[in-house]
Amino acid sequence: MQATGSQSRSGRLGVGIVGAGRVGPVLGAALAGAGHAIVGVNAVSQTSRERAQDMLPGVPILETPELLERSELVLLAVPDDQLPGLVEGLAAVGAWQPGQLVVHTAPGLGIGVLRPALAAGAIPLAIHPAMAFTGTRLDLARMAETYFAVTAPAPVQPIGQALVVEMGGEPVLVAEEDRAAYGEAIATAASFSRRIVEQATGMLAEIGFEQPGAYLSSLVRSTVDEALRKAGMAAPLDLSEFDGTA
């Protein structure tokens, strides 16, 4: 893996977002802040529609085929298990366009899952931000200290890296064959951290602490930061709130 510094890229892209969970609208807002145009978002539930309207005011909610027709860059921010079927289904109806950038955010999947889009001439990228998302504007500030895993064909890697920099993050190249191990590491950090915090706060609650989470907050954050420092990371990340899902 190789970290990169800041890069710049010219051009304003029309961005379509498939999935209005906690991740998609936030990344869309970050891209909009970098000068790209959000042409639409696909949101099914009432909660996701409200989140999309809050994070992306004025952006139309569109059906996925129409969204793809309008987009130069398609951001697929859907749960990992839904991604293969979504990509294949859109390929079956001829929705992918030649030259269209297709980005997914699943941590454990590389660009192989985008093969049906690639066959139609689309350009595949896998970009995963290693942070917990609240689905609110708080996440935009957090991205300034967040690493993003970028997996893409060699000629396309600079595009993925530049998109990450535009969103305020730090890109790190992850090879296709290492993506599963990367996803496992993300899942391990997320589940272990959450289990430990839940167990510890539960013990304090049992002995009468009214706000066990607040009591342990400084301890957990400083302990994790110190562990990460010793692991040789350039900047500490808050694993107590780590979430690798899209």
Q: Are residues 107 and 25 in the same domain?
A: yes
Query: Which tops the pLDDT comparison, 163 or 9?
Result: 163
* 141 lies in some domain: yes
Do 176 and 186 reside in the same domain of the chain? no
Residue 7 — very low, low, confident or very high, per pLDDT cuts 50/70/90? very low
166 plus 231 within the same structural domain: no
Residue 195 within a domain: yes
pTM above 0.75, yes or no: yes
The tens digit of pLDDT for each residue in 172-222 reads 999 999 999 999 999 998 888 888 889 999 999 999 999 999 988 888 888
Q: Are residues 128 and 236 in the same domain?
A: no
Question: H-helix or E-strand containing 68?
Answer: helix 64-70
Whether 81 and 191 map to the same domain: the answer is no
Domain limit, last residue, from 141, 160, 180: 180
Q: What integer pLDDT is reported at residue 223 of this predicted model?
A: 82
| pLDDT of the residue at 168 | 95
Specify whether 162 is located in the same domain as 215: no
Distance, CA of 204 to CA of 220 (rounded, Å)? 14
In a domain, 72, yes or no: yes
- pLDDT, residue 178, reads 97
Q: Are residues 134 and 162 in the same domain?
A: yes
**pLDDT of 109-131, one tens digit each?**
999 999 999 999 999 999 999 99
Band of residue 108 on the pLDDT scale cut at 50, 70, 90:
very high
The last residue of one of the domains, among 180, 201, 217, is: 180
Tokens encoding 9 = 């890229």
Q: Are residue 175 and residue 205 in the same domain, yes or no?
A: no
Report the number of distinct structural domains present in the chain: 2
Is residue 7 domain-shared with residue 114, that is, in the same domain?
yes
Instruction: Examine the pLDDT at 132 and tell me if it is beyond 50.
Output: yes
**End position of a domain, from candidates 180, 203, 230:** 180
Angle between helices 212-230 and 179-206 (to 10 degrees): 140
pLDDT digits (tens, 9 = 90+) for 73-99: 999 999 999 999 999 999 999 999 999
In this structure, the answer to whether residues 76 and 152 fall within a common structural domain is yes
Contact 51, 41 (CB under 8 A): no
Is the separation of the CB atoms in 74 and 100 below 8 Å?
Answer: yes
With H, G, I as helix, E, B as strand and everything else as coil, classify residue 128.
Answer: strand
Mean pLDDT of 57-77: 96
- Spatial contact of 91 and 119, defined as CB atoms under 8 Å apart: yes
For residue 239, pLDDT beyond 70:
no
Q: What is the CATH number of the domain that holds 89?
A: 3.40.50.720
Residue 53 lies inside a defined structural domain of this protein: yes
Q: Whole domain around residue 25: which residue ranges?
A: 2-180
Please enumerate in sequence order all residues whose Cβ is within 8 A of that of 218, keeping only pairs 6 or more positions apart, or say none.
Answer: none
- Predicted pLDDT at 220: 83
Query: What is the residue-averaged pLDDT of the chain?
Result: 89
Same structural domain for residues 172 and 217? no
175 occurs within a structural domain: yes
Q: How high is the pLDDT of residue 20?
A: 93
- Is residue 246 in a domain? no
Q: Quick one: average pLDDT of 159-183?
A: 96
